[in-house]
Amino acid sequence: MPIVLIPFPSSCLFFLPLIPIDHIPGFQRPGLGGGTCLYHESYQGGGKEIEGVDTVDMRKRVMLIEREGGKGDLRRAAIASYILAVGGVVLFLLAPQAWAEDDFYRAEGGPQIFVTSVTSSLETGKTGSVFVKIENRGEISGLVEKRTPQTEDEKMLALLEGEMEMEGSEAVGIQGKLSSRDGRLEVLSRPQLAGSLSGGEALERPMEFSVRAESSASAGVYPMLLEVSYERLEDVLVRGNPLYPEIHFQRAEATETISIEVPVMTGPRLEVAEVKGSISPGRSSALELVMANGGDVPAREVRARLLVQPPFNSTGEEVELGDIEPGKRAASEYPLEVDRLADPGERALVWQVRYLPGELGEERSEELAALVEVKAPTGLRALFVVPIVAILITLIYLGGVRRGLRLPRIRRRRRW
């Protein structure tokens, strides 16, 4: 689209798309008041440079004039539009060269992103989080003079440009993307935004990525890549009146790829190590549960409740075992009553266990089972129980025999 160049105070250049002539019978010369040029910015990315200005919208200053009639007015409007368009294109092409002539310094250095810490809650066969903290250790080491200022005005402009060039260590609009170099780890999160960091600043909160570890992934350290992209200040150009300078910021995109190592754990592995105690029919006793952590992550705030079914009976209260470190054990007692008619033999008992995996995990709930033996009565209890059982069996037997026998009836004669 053609570009129109419109004069404006303070030596500012404004580039405005030309409105098609078929829709505009002529132009009215815009007024010269009401605008202040602050700065120009250009962004370089993908081999393309885009110019932009921070100012009032000049489209509002282009006014349509009423059609006065006659082909002469249309012809004059067309010629004026063509001249303005050609002049605008020429000045637009010459603008970079004009700006380059006013460039006094080039900064040495820039942003540099470093990973300061990597923590994770990844466990084999589960989805967890990877936390990455970064820091900008970049700095501007100095300025290289590109052109020596000649006049007092240029010296003031050069001083202003140098001060702004020294701010070029800031990384703007940081974005982090995590990828895995091992097929057993899958990154589920999209790229994370981290804001801006000046030189010497670090993120207050780490970037968090959701990652799934396959069941085939064993405990260990896995390599991953963190791609950090941001915008950096490429160059600063200053020109015009030192009191009302025109400042041109040229920015460029930058990308850094950083290798990191992410630990994958087995996680807490709670298991019933031992059940102590003796139980028998018709007797109340206390069982001691010994629980062990066979994993590599602590189990925090462990609580267990005995889930009972006939012939067992219990209060069902939850017992706290505290924290169980990897390779350690913890014990707790549970009152249990066995029905007096229960048969001796092995029975399964189930405990519902709740705990927190490590420092960052959410509460988990598991059910652990163990076999216990219901023993036959012994000692004095057996002396009472066995005769009673024998008597009951005898009575049942005799009752059945009596029902099975048919005794003869004795008839008595009546006396008349």
Does pLDDT of 91 surpass 90? no
Q: How far apart are the first and last CA of the chain?
A: 147
Does pLDDT of 41 surpass 70? no
Percent of the chain predicted with pLDDT > 90: 46
- Indicate the SS3 state at residue 387: helix
Residue 373 neighbours by CB under 8 Å, 6+ apart: 279, 344, 345, 346, 347
Write out the two tokens for 159.
């001083």
Residues 251/230, Cβ–Cβ less than 8 Å: no
Residue 225 φ then ψ, to 5°: -120, 135
222 residue type, one letter: Y
Q: Residue 46: what pLDDT? A: 42
Q: Residue 415: what pLDDT? A: 52
SS3 sequence of 118-165: EEECCECCCEEEEEEEEEECCEEEEEEECCCCCCHHHHHHHHHHHHHH
Average pLDDT over residues 19-42: 40
Distance in angstroms (rounded) separating the CA atoms of residues 122 and 127 = 7
Residues 112/136, Cβ–Cβ less than 8 Å: yes
Residue that has been written with the tokens 């105690």 in this structure = 277
Q: In terms of DSSP bridges, do strands 299-307 and 318-324 run parallel, antiparallel, or are they unpaired?
A: antiparallel
Q: Residue 409: what pLDDT? A: 52
Structural domains present in the chain: 3-101 (no CATH), 105-264 (2.60.40), 270-374 (2.60.40.10)
* Residue range 332-360, pLDDT digits in tens: 999 988 888 888 888 889 999 999 998 76
The secondary structure element, H or E, covering residue 366 is strand 364-374
Between these two residues, 400 and 218, which has the higher pLDDT value? 218
The secondary structure element, H or E, covering residue 120 is strand 113-120
Q: Residue 33: what pLDDT? A: 37
What is the gyration radius of the CA atoms in the chain, in angstroms? 44
Q: Which of 255, 225, 259 is nearest to 112 (CA)?
A: 255
Distance in angstroms (rounded) separating the CA atoms of residues 285 and 268 = 31
Residue 160 neighbours by CB under 8 Å, 6+ apart: 238, 242, 245, 247
Distance in angstroms (rounded) separating the CA atoms of residues 255 and 109 = 15
> How many other CB atoms sit within 10 Å of the CB of residue 207?
23
Distance in angstroms (rounded) separating the CA atoms of residues 299 and 331 = 14
Distance in angstroms (rounded) separating the CA atoms of residues 240 and 64 = 32
Distance in angstroms (rounded) separating the CA atoms of residues 170 and 200 = 9
Write out the two tokens for 25.
């019978």
Write out the two tokens for 146.
């590109």
Q: Which of 195-209, 258-272, 363-377 has the lowest mean pLDDT?
A: 363-377
Chain-centroid distance of CA 268 in Å reads 23
Does pLDDT of 161 surpass 50? yes
Long-range Cβ pairs for the range 356-360 (8 Å, 24+): 356/299, 356/300, 356/301, 357/121, 357/123, 357/267, 357/268, 357/297, 357/299, 357/300, 358/121, 358/265, 358/267, 358/268, 358/297, 358/298, 358/300, 359/300, 360/121, 360/129
Q: Residue 250: what pLDDT? A: 92
Distance in angstroms (rounded) separating the CA atoms of residues 84 and 7 = 11
With cut-offs at 50, 70 and 90, classify the pLDDT of residue 25: very low
Distance in angstroms (rounded) separating the CA atoms of residues 58 and 231 = 28
Q: Residue 210: what pLDDT? A: 96
Q: Which of 19-33, 197-211, 300-314 has the lowest mean pLDDT?
A: 19-33
- Indicate the SS3 state at residue 113: strand
Between these two residues, 157 and 19, which has the higher pLDDT value? 157
Average pLDDT over residues 233-262: 92
Distance in angstroms (rounded) separating the CA atoms of residues 373 and 286 = 14
Residue 239 φ then ψ, to 5°: -150, 175
Q: Which of 21, 241, 76 is nearest to 4 (CA)?
A: 21
Q: Residue 228: what pLDDT? A: 98
Q: Which of 37-51, 192-206, 237-251 has the lowest mean pLDDT?
A: 37-51
With cut-offs at 50, 70 and 90, classify the pLDDT of residue 413: low
Under the phi-then-psi rule, with left for phi > 0, alpha for psi from -120 to 50, and beta for the rest, what region is 110? left
